[in-house]
Amino acid sequence: MSLTHTGVTTTPADLDPCGRADHPDCGIRDVLDRIGDKWSVLVIVELASGPRRFRELQRAVDGISQRMLTLTVRRLERDGLVLRTVYPTVPAQVDYRLTTTGAGLTHLVKALADWSLAHRPVIAEARRAYDRTHPDHDIR
């Protein structure tokens, strides 16, 4: 479902996720779907430090299950952000590394991380203020 689902009240099969000129999200959805999920960013960040094997990644990304790591790296691979290399040894050995495209994305992720870090106090305070003024409201 990650390919072209933006809002979609439009047609089922739309090869043009973009559709309208007044729809400013064209294309961004693709990337957002990828980096927006729980694990991708963590994997990307880890790979930014260099190639990693499957188990290394799993150990580095604390809490990720085998299943989720597999799915995550597969999707990143499919999008051309990560390169997966299998060495026909026994036991199997596979390494993952960022592609040029993927490395480019890390800059943005880094920028986002910096912004997040810089604004964490502000956001935290905003939340406290909100929760204080809206005691019974459950936004999550």
Residues 97-136 that bind DNA (CB under 7 A): none
Beta strands in the chain (DSSP E): 52-53, 82-87, 93-98
| Rounded Cα distance, 58 and 94, in Å | 13
Question: Which of 64, 76, 82, 105 is in the footprint of DNA by CB under 7 A?
Answer: 64
The item of a second copy, DNA, none sharing an interface with residue 103, based on CB under 5 to 8 Å by kind, is none
Q: Is 136 exposed, middle or buried (0-12, 13-18, 19+ CB in 10 A)?
A: exposed
Q: Which is nearer to DNA, 24 or 91 (CB)?
A: 91
| Rounded Cα distance, 81 and 56, in Å | 18
Stretch that binds DNA, among 20-28, 84-92, 109-117, 120-128 (CB under 7 A): 84-92
**Is 23 among the residues that bind a second copy (CB under 8 A)?**
yes
**Is 95 among the residues that bind a second copy (CB under 8 A)?**
no
